[in-house]
């Protein structure tokens, strides 16, 4: 798209601009607001670009990315207003600069998806590239080459609409800037619900989607279930150990009771067939003492 717009600008707009600039009294005071006469080509380009941004706005809206959706929807309206005002040079140049930043965003996004969050140095380098590109486009080019000249343009009804929409679009773009993403991460991603797995660099580079949120929710539920199963297993083990101890205690208690009974029978001169040695009281007390210690 950028290559096509650059070729369109060099083949159709520049020749008209150069021919008009050679006139003694050119029809424009600022080359940005140069109006061309061939509206058919401009209409076709505007329809293609507006449809593209509207489609992307619907996709972002479906993914619940409301800020980007609003930005692209507003930008498509800006292009339609440029067409109504016949600002072909304005529209094409604006699309070229915005498209350059979009290419940078998509490339850094794809690279960040295939990099582990532990590789902070490489992610930091990619974040610096995106920040520099954002500063160059949105703090250097757009304010001084588009926004301020638009404010200084003739204050007719169409110019007021263009000013309102392009400044509104610019505010939304600043709201979705990498700088504000950093502060958003530091404020709202302290509980672990982060698309970058607690990496601030990957959080800036990667856009969050409902699918990724669903995966993080499922992962959190899985970890909670695993923790509950471990707790139940531990409780079961402790319960079995307590049951085993109780059985051991009951067995020892029965043996001690049997020893006492045998001792009483022997003391009363019991049956002669009992020839086994019956432990005396001291042995029984020693056994009880050992069991209590145990």
List, for residues 120-139, the tens digit of each pLDDT value.
788 889 999 999 999 999 99
For the chain, percent of residues with pLDDT exceeding 70: 76
pLDDT tens column, 71-89: 999 999 999 999 988 888 8
Q: What's the angle, vertex CA 276, arms to CA 273 and CA 281, rounded to 5?
A: 125
The residue with greater pLDDT, 67 or 16, is 67
Contact 92, 8 (CB under 8 A): yes
Q: Say what the alpha-carbon torsion angle 260, 262, 267, 271 is, to the nearest 10 degrees.
A: 170
State the pTM of this model: 0.72
Rounded average pLDDT over 114-118: 77
So what's the pLDDT on residue 293?
A: 42
Q: Give me the pLDDT at residue 24, please.
A: 59
Q: What is the pLDDT of residue 88?
A: 87
Mean pLDDT value across the chain: 79
Task: Tell me what pLDDT residue 150 has.
Answer: 87
Q: What pLDDT, in 10s, does the model give residues 236-294?
A: 777 766 676 666 767 777 888 787 778 788 787 654 444 444 444 444 445 444 444 44
Please state the rounded mean pLDDT for residues 188-211: 73
pLDDT of residue 276: 46
**What share of the chain in percent tops pLDDT 90?**
28
Is the pLDDT assigned to residue 68 strictly greater than 80? Answer: yes
Over range 20-40, report the average pLDDT.
68
Q: Which residues of 49-61 are buried (b: 16+ CB within 10 A; e: fewer)?
A: bbeebbebbeebe
CA 225 to chain centre: 24
Angle at 135 between CA 129 and CA 138, to 5 degrees: 130
Are 40 and 86 contacting, i.e. CB atoms less than 8 angstroms apart? no
- Give yes or no for residue 160 having a pLDDT over 70: yes
Residue 231 has pLDDT above 60, yes or no: yes
pLDDT digit string, tens, across residues 164-198? 999 999 999 999 998 888 888 778 766 666 776 66
φ, ψ for residue 115, nearest 5 deg? -120, 140
Rounded distance between C-alpha atoms, residue 69 and residue 87, angstroms: 24
């Amino acid at each position: 798209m950028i290559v096509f717009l650059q070729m369109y600008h060099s083949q159709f707009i520049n020749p008209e601009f150069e021919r008009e600039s050679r006139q003694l009294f050119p029809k424009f005071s600022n080359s940005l607001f140069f109006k061309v006469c061939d509206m058919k080509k401009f209409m076709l380009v505007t329809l293609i670009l507006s449809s593209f941004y509207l489609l992307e706005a619907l996709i972002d809206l479906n993914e619940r990315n409301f800020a980007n959706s609003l930005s692209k929807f507003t930008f498509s309206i800006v292009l339609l207003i440029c067409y109504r005002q016949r600002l072909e040079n304005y529209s094409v140049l604006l699309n070229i600069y915005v498209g350059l930043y979009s290419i940078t965003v998509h490339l850094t996004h794809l690279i960040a998806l295939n990099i582990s969050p532990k590789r902070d140095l490489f992610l930091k380098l990619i974040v610096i590239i995106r920040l520099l590109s954002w500063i160059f486009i949105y703090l250097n080019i757009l304010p001084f080459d588009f926004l301020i000249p638009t404010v200084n343009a003739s204050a007719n009804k169409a110019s007021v609409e263009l000013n309102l929409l392009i400044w509104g679009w610019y505010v939304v773009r600043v709201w979705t800037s990498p700088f504000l993403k950093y502060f958003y991460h530091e404020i709202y991603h302290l509980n672990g619900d982060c698309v970058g797995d607690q990496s601030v660099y990957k959080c800036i580079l990667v856009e969050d989607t409902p699918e990724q949120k669903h995966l993080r929710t499922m992962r959190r539920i899985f970890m909670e279930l695993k923790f509950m199963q471990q707790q139940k297993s531990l409780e079961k083990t402790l319960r079995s150990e307590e049951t085993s101890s109780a059985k051991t205690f009951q067995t020892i208690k029965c043996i001690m009771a049997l020893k006492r009974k045998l001792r009483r029978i022997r003391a009363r001169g019991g049956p002669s067939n009992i020839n086994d040695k019956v432990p005396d009281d001291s042995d029984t007390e020693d056994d009880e003492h050992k069991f209590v210690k145990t």
